[in-house]
Amino acid sequence: MSRRQGGRIVQYEEDRETESMLSRRQALTLLAGGAPALKLARAAGELPAITSGPFNGTRQSLREWQVPAWYRDAKFGIWAHWGPQSAPEYGDWYARNMYVQGHRQYEYHVKTYGHPSKFGFKDVIPTWKAARFDADHLLQLYKKAGAKYFCSMAVHHDGFDLWKSAHQPRWNSVATGPKRDIVGEFKKAAAKQGLRFAVSEHLAPSYHWFSTSHTSDKTGPLAGVPYDGADPAYADLYHELPKDYPYGQRINDRQAPDPWKLHYFKRIKDLVDNYQPDLLYTDGDIFFEEYGLGLVANLYNTSAKRHGGHCEAVYTSKLPSDCETGTCVLDWERGVAAGIPANPWQTDTCVGDWHYNKEAKYKTPKRVIDLLVDIVSRNGNLMLNFPLPNSGELDGQELKILDEITRWMAVNSEGIYSTRPWKIFGEGPVASAPQTGGRGPRFNEGGRRDLTAEEVRFTTRGANLYAFVMGWPEKQAVIKSLSTKSDTAPFKVGNVELLGFRGKVQWTQDENGLTVQMPQQKPSDHAIALRVRGA
């Protein structure tokens, strides 16, 4: 996942963001060099054929794809962003930053394990034991909390596969570390709970992302001594970089050698072919043009083959132009889109850090629920990461957050699942204020504050309009958008109910809005939901 941390990391991530915002024409120009190599790979029989079906690996073909109904109805998914970088329990991007002298993770690594020229990430991997990992137990908790789909990380930028990988035979979770098929165990557990199954892959940027492992200290007694990534014996993990590799310069991770693009294609195709996910999350956009398009088509055709010719699978991209017409679902990392986008979209975010961090400050349950309701009111889905520690068992704080989500969803979920946006997503000071912070919708959640009873968010299902009041009103809730004189969304109210309250609530509708008297006992913590029917 993305991080904005000091020095070279900032440059790397800024370059990723700059490239992701390129126009389609610019992107195709940059990537055009790979097309001849792709044709040669096909001619030589090196590129495996994609599963046959309604889609081929072209943008024109993929524009015919449509978002499946299950995904539009699901609204809420939970993610396990977990792997060997979770072993130190010291935050995201550990495998890269442990090779950046002066970085807090470098300092922690030297203090805890030793110098990275002697004890590198390859040596961290066996310390990831997953000693208390129980996929069935976790998925039971997640289903109870209201998740409709579950996502297992399959491979991060560290290049370590969490399945019995045909193209990464030495560095995968069956061969070393926990010596278990993590993706496979999660898939079986999801099936038992009736949840749709997703996988995330973050592999394409690895070629450049892991280049820090080939460098050395700039100062100190070991200055100039290469880190272990420079050892060719471990090139299958750290990559084989050319002698003239531009260390320290800004790198465009949409450009890489053709052998790496082919390897990336084979790795992710192996993942999809073996685990047949309902959703494939890619940390970025459709990488390497024809290679990436082939992977999307393979995912969709694999799904269509299982569902009588109808594609039930979803691919996510973080590049808006990828998803303008069909093709995929747009994902805003740690962000909330403005207004009500015409196409369904997704936020992926985390209760703490992406990889487990024992020093992390977690989101409050209210912040999570505020996000969920706000996102759903804007035609989006929330995929929420609960980072697992080395053991594979949720910590106490995470269990508390999950429990509060569970209790809230038990009362209010009918206003979440299978809903669609109303004419407006909401009202209140926050709803009417222009969005600020982050880079567009991406990363803008950092500037959000908890929503209060002044804020209302709307969803609809069938004849019902749901008005979520985002805090407990003192005596009454006033929904101004339901005024009898509303020009924005005229709506004549016939009945009002408060979800979770068995009695009748008193209400009036006039030119000031819909006013609902609150009972003495609130039916749930955090946001409350009014079920409103038209006359």
The token pair that represents 482 in the structure block: 């339901």
User: 435 or 343: which carries more pLDDT confidence?
Assistant: 343
Confirm if 203 and 157 have CB atoms less than 8 A apart: yes
pLDDT of residue 22: 34
423: exposed, middle or buried (Cβ count in 10 Å: 0-12, 13-18, 19+): middle
Confirm if 101 and 109 have CB atoms less than 8 A apart: no
pLDDT of residue 48: 78
The token pair that represents 368 in the structure block: 């999570």
Mean pLDDT of 1-30: 36
Identify the band that residue 434 occupies on the pLDDT scale cut at 50, 70 and 90: confident
Task: Give the position of tokens 């002066």.
Answer: 102
Confirm if 464 and 426 have CB atoms less than 8 A apart: no
Q: Is the pLDDT of residue 529 over 70?
A: yes
pLDDT of residue 1: 53
Name the average pLDDT for the chain. 90
pLDDT of residue 36: 54
Q: Is the pLDDT of residue 23 over 60?
A: no
Identify the band that residue 45 occupies on the pLDDT scale cut at 50, 70 and 90: low
Confirm if 203 and 284 have CB atoms less than 8 A apart: no
Determine what percent of the chain is predicted with pLDDT higher than 70. Answer: 90
- Distance in angstroms (rounded) separating the CA atoms of residues 277 and 271: 9
Task: Give the position of tokens 């038990």.
Answer: 410
Identify the band that residue 15 occupies on the pLDDT scale cut at 50, 70 and 90: very low
DSSP string over 469-488: ESS--SSEEEEGGG-TT-SS
Identify the band that residue 278 occupies on the pLDDT scale cut at 50, 70 and 90: very high
Flag the least confident range among 310-314, 464-468, 471-475, 514-518: 471-475
CA angle 428, 430, 432 (to 5 degrees): 70
User: 282 or 444: which carries more pLDDT confidence?
Assistant: 282
pLDDT of residue 307: 97
Confirm if 395 and 389 have CB atoms less than 8 A apart: yes
Per-residue pLDDT tens for 189-247? 999 999 999 999 999 999 999 999 999 999 999 999 999 999 999 999 999 999 999 99
pLDDT of residue 258: 94
Determine what percent of the chain is predicted with pLDDT higher than 90. Answer: 83
- Distance in angstroms (rounded) separating the CA atoms of residues 258 and 261: 5
403: exposed, middle or buried (Cβ count in 10 Å: 0-12, 13-18, 19+): middle
For residue 448, give every residue at least 6 positions away whose Cβ sits within 8 Å of its Cβ, in sequence order, or none: 336, 367, 370, 371, 430
The token pair that represents 193 in the structure block: 């709970």
pLDDT of residue 251: 85
Q: Is the pLDDT of residue 259 over 90?
A: yes
User: 469 or 15: which carries more pLDDT confidence?
Assistant: 469
Task: Give the position of tokens 């809005």.
Answer: 513
Q: Which domains does the chain have, with CATH numbers?
A: 8-89+131-207+257-333 (3.20.20.80), 426-534 (2.60.40.1180)
Flag the least confident range among 161-175, 340-354, 396-410, 424-438: 424-438
Identify the band that residue 463 occupies on the pLDDT scale cut at 50, 70 and 90: very high
Nearest to 104 by CA among 3, 222, 239: 3
Question: What is the CB neighbour count within 10 angstroms for residue 171?
Answer: 22
Question: What is the CB neighbour count within 10 angstroms for residue 32?
Answer: 10
Mean pLDDT of 175-201: 98
Q: Is the pLDDT of residue 34 over 80?
A: no
Mean pLDDT of 329-354: 95
pLDDT of residue 47: 72
pLDDT of residue 12: 36
pLDDT of residue 439: 53
Mean pLDDT of 347-372: 96
Per-residue pLDDT tens for 46-102? 677 999 999 999 999 999 999 999 999 999 999 999 999 999 999 999 999 999 999
Is the four-CA dihedral 355, 358, 361, 366 of positive or negative sign? Answer: positive
Q: Is the pLDDT of residue 20 over 50?
A: no
Task: Tell me the one-letter amino acid at 139.
Answer: L
